[in-house]
Amino acid sequence: MIKIAPSILNGDMSNIAATVAMLDRAEADWLHLDVMDGVFVPNITFGPKTIADMRPQTKTFLDAHLMVHDPNTLLEEFAKAGADLITVHYESPGCTHLDRVIQRIHGLGVKAGVALNPATPDSVLDYILDSLDLVLVMSVNPGFGGQKFIPYSLRKIESIANKAAKRGVNLEIEVDGGVKVNNAAEVINAGATVLVAGTAVVCAPDPIQAVKDLKACAK
């Protein structure tokens, strides 16, 4: 089943509770939470305290995408906050020992994902693919919502999907950046199983309808 994971990034950051309630009404499958530290990416958002405060407001699966210089110091806090999945970036300087980071996330009882920037080949994950719950393919350069989908991302999604199928691993492939109703079908056909949609949902005139429309693309 394809999951729709709206990102709250371009919603009203002074009223996250309203966005969460709205996305619950829209029956979003996951909530995509973009954590940015102003170092790894040129933008700053929120941290574990915000996620901990959101946790009692929704039963929806919380998908934390950490765009930070060093996720290691924060993993325990994010797990305690109630994140269901923690995705770290392959390119984060703190992920030099990526295998260890993944083991640590699993040790905290949380699902583990690795995100790849657009220019990073998926082959860097060949040896750890079997230990991951998710690979996040960035289809824009991370930092901001509302950017244009990079078409070569489709080839990377296909490559990861082929490897996962060949090895029989149960892997979610999440695509993040510039996903909209007009490209959702090709992203799904390439092998994506989780679609992040930021501006396409929260900036739509009718966000609830926007989630429905994306779900319809997945059928």
Residue 215 binding ligand DX5, by CB under 6 A: no
Residue 19 binding ligand DX5, by CB under 6 A: no
Query: In terms of Cα–Cα distance, which of 218, 211, 195, 178 is closest to 19?
Result: 211
| Strand pairing category for 3-6 and 172-176 | unpaired
Residue 199 binding ligand DX5, by CB under 6 A: yes
One residue of 143, 186, 208, 218 binding ligand DX5 per CB under 6 A: 143
Residue 34 binding Zn ion, by CB under 5 A: yes
Residue 213 binding ligand DX5, by CB under 6 A: no
Instruction: Examine the residue annotation and report whether 126 is marked as an active-site residue of this protein.
Output: no
**In the complex, least distance from residue 186 CB atom to ligand DX5, rounded to whole angstroms:** 15
Q: Which residues are within 8 A (CB) of 154 and not within 5 positions of it... i.e. 6 or more apart?
A: 186, 187, 190
Residue 93 binding ligand DX5, by CB under 6 A: no
Options 29, 63, 133, 176, the catalytic residue: 176
Q: How far apart are CA 153 and CA 150, in angstroms?
A: 6
Q: Report which secondary-structure segment, H or E, holds 79.
A: helix 75-81
Query: In terms of Cα–Cα distance, which of 57, 1, 9, 25 is closest to 196?
Result: 9
Q: How far apart are CA 88 and CA 169, in angstroms?
A: 20
Instruction: Examine the residue annotation and report whether 133 is marked as an active-site residue of this protein.
Output: no
Residues 160-189, mask of contacts with ligand DX5 (x by CB under 6 A): ----------------xxxx----------
Q: Which residues are within 8 A (CB) of 55 and not within 5 positions of it... i.e. 6 or more apart?
A: 62, 81, 82
Contact positions with Zn ion (CB under 5 A) in 59-88: 65
- Catalytic residue numbers, as ranges: 34, 176
Binding footprint of ligand DX5 on the chain (CB under 6 A)? 7, 9-10, 32, 34, 65, 140, 142-143, 145-147, 176-179, 196-200
